[in-house]
Every structure is written in C-alpha cells, then in structure tokens.
Amino acid sequence: MSEHSTQDLAQLEEQAIERLVHLHSGRASVADRQAFEHWSQRSDAHRAAARSAQALWDDIPQTETARHFVPPAPRRKPRRRLAAALAASLAILVVGGTLLDPLPALRADHVTAVGERRQLQLQDGSQLWLNSASAVSIDYSPGSRTIHLYKGEALFEVARDADRPFIVHAGGGTVRAVGTRFDVDLQGRKTDVVVSEGIVEVASGQQAALRLEAGQGVTYQAGQPPGPLRQEDAQASSAWQRGKLIFNRRPLGEVLAKLGRHLPGKLHLTDGALRELRISGVFELDDPQAALRTLEQTQPLRITRLPLLTLIRPKP
C-alpha cells in the first residue's frame, strides 16, 4: 500500500462506503455484488478500504427503530451485519429528527426549513427570531402572551407589558419574562436558556422557578428542575441571529449539534470520546460545509459525507 497516499486511501474508503450503501439499498443486482467483490480485491489498499468501511458501519449503533428498516437479509453473516448497520444509519436519521416530523409543522404557526432563519414582528411590538429547522406557535390573549417552541431555537426580544407576562413553553418547561431578551434552544431532551438583557424565570419539574439575569444561562429537562446557573457569553449564544456560530472552548458534541441544525441530514460522531474535544472558532452560517472542512483541517477528525448522513470520526 506504500504507493497510495493518505488522500488516495481516504478516497478509496469513501468509494467502499458508497458501494456498500448501494448494495444494501434494495436496488443492487447480483452483478453489483460481484463488482464490489472484484473491486475489493484489486489491491491491498482496496481490501483495507473495504474492511475499514465495514468497521465504520459497525460503529453506528443499532436501535429498536432500525429493525423496521432492515431489508431482506442475504445468507452470509457479514452482509447481514452491513444490512443491519445501514438500517441503523437510517434509524439515526428518523430518531434524530432529520426526516420531517409532521407534528411540529401541523401545530406550528411558523416553521423554518434547514438553512433558513426568519424574523417575526409580534403584535405587541415584541420580536422573535427563528433559527434554522425550528417551529413555533403564537397565542396572544388579553391576559397573556404565550409562545410554544416545538423544535429548534428562537431568540426573543420582549416588549414590556406588566399586565401580560410573556411565557415560552419548550421541552417540558416554561420561561417567563416581562421585558427582556433571551434565547431558548431545544436540543433533544434538554433545553438551554440564555439571557441577554433583563430577567427571566425558568420553571421545570416541581421546584420553584429559577431566576436568571443578563449573562446567565441554565439547562433543564422535562420533569427535572433547572440548574445549575452558569455564566454565559450572551453575544456568542445569539450569534446565529447575525449569521454566525461562535465557540470558545465548547465541546465538539455541542458544536456539532448547533452546526447540524444548518445542514441537511444528520451529523453522527462515531467515537463518543470525541464529544468533549474543545473547539474554538467563528463559523459563517452562509457556508456550514466550510465549518466542517475547517474542523477536519484543524482537529484530529476525519469526515465522510453520505446522502443525509455525515460521519465524524477520529483520524487514524
């Protein structure tokens, strides 16, 4: 394999992955399978690429949902493993919310597509900025101003009205404000709240609401009390509203979660140990793929792009 450069080997591995995806797509013929067997035996480098591709698929965890996607299994065990692994990758897309979830779209008044950001002027003079792949509904009455964030992230700039509290329901908790500016970010089972101006109260679970002031943030999960309070760079947290993502020694898992909102498909980290890798940088949301390229060039990461799935793993 000495005649092959590192770049050549990476390209061979991506070819192997693409071939395996096709083999287990339900559209492959016997000739396709024979062609892959022939391809994988062309050289030591091709054999290594085929082995590495299979190992990569094996790193993708199976889920209960994956069983619903398993195509008819060929008789040979290695191919069954690959079929199950491909099914698991499809399950990651479904469970991770990459494929369109119709419920937020049906309940929401406003929905943004992947890569779209939108500013809304509310009837009381408040403003709402909706991040990529997000969904909200708005319910104003004479006695209250209520927002439901079903998916994604929103930044609120609230007009003062002491007679009508401004309440955001998100992730099984509530954020209550009178006149303030704050960000609410739904990330899977957890919800992050960061205050830029004024004061908000965050409630979740059975405990009393937690009071946040400007420059503070908190995380909560449904049914659990929020906390602990932490100091936050509110300008960095809301930078997406200005078309940027700003990170100062943030964990890679968090960086990918925020970046993935602006990319089609799913970002999947194959090695959990990398989640805590600290990342600093400023990334432009007009070109999120450039952010991935920068991470690959500056960090010990290797990125493989497939339709609807981008795999991030350690460099060998």
The lowest-confidence range among 14-23, 34-43, 151-160 is 14-23
Res 76: pLDDT: 41
- pLDDT interval class at 73 (50, 70, 90): very low
Calculate the CA 131 to chain-centre distance. Answer: 13
**Percent of the chain whose predicted confidence (pLDDT) is above 90:** 56
198 and 136 in one domain?
yes
Q: Does residue 160 fall inside a structural domain?
A: yes
Same domain assignment for residues 228 and 107: yes
**Predicted TM-score (pTM) of this structure:** 0.74
- Both tokens assigned to 66: 């994956």
d(CA 270, CA 55): 11
Q: What is the pLDDT of residues 174-220, one digit of tens each?
A: 999 988 999 999 998 899 999 999 999 999 988 889 999 999 999 99
125 falls within a domain: yes
pLDDT computed for residue 27 by the predictor: 72
Q: What is the pLDDT of residue 59?
A: 56
83 and 145 both lie in a single domain = no
- pLDDT at residue 75, rounded to an integer: 41
DSSP string for residues in 267-284? EEES-GGGGG-EEEEEEE
Whether the pLDDT of residue 5 is over 70: the answer is no
Q: Which two tokens stand for residue 284?
A: 């432009």
pLDDT of res. 60 = 53
Distance CA 142, CA 140 (A): 7
255: which residues sit within 8 A by CB, 6+ positions away? 245, 247, 279, 295
Same domain for 258 and 201? no
More confident residue, 192 or 269: 192
Average pLDDT over residues 295-310: 89
Give 129's pLDDT tier (boundaries 50, 70, 90): very high
219 and 253 part of one domain: no
Bridge-based pairing of strands 199-203 and 230-231 is unpaired
Whether 187 and 131 map to the same domain: the answer is yes
Chosen domain end from 232, 259, 281 = 232
- Looking at 184, 211, 232, which one is the last position of a domain? 232
Q: Which CATH number characterizes residue 178's domain?
A: 2.60.120.1440
Q: Does any domain span residue 56?
A: yes
**66 belongs to a structural domain:** yes
Same domain, 129 and 227: yes
Judgement on whether residues 84 and 140 belong to the same structural domain of the protein: no
- 1: in domain: no
Domain tally for the chain? Answer: 3
Q: Is residue 238 part of a domain?
A: no
**Domain final position from 73, 95, 117:** 95
Asked if residue 299 is part of any domain, the answer here is: yes
Q: What does the pLDDT read at residue 2?
A: 45
The answer to whether residues 287 and 219 belong to one domain is no
* 237 is a domain residue: no
Handedness of CA 305, 311, 312, 314 (dihedral sign): negative
Q: Are residues 42 and 109 in the same domain?
A: no
Domain that holds residue 288: 243-314
Query: 3-7, 113-117, 304-308: which range is least confident on average?
Result: 3-7
Domain co-membership, 226 together with 129: yes
Work out the pLDDT band at 53, boundaries 50, 70, 90.
Answer: confident
Question: What is the share, in percent, of the chain residues with pLDDT greater than 70?
Answer: 79
Asked if residue 72 has pLDDT above 70, the reply is no
Q: Is the pLDDT of residue 62 over 80?
A: no
Tokens 């991030």 identify what position? 312
What pLDDT sits at residue 55?
67
80 — pLDDT class (breaks 50, 70, 90) = very low
Q: What CATH code is carried by the domain that includes residue 263?
A: 3.55.50.30
**113 pLDDT tier (thresholds 50, 70, 90):** very high
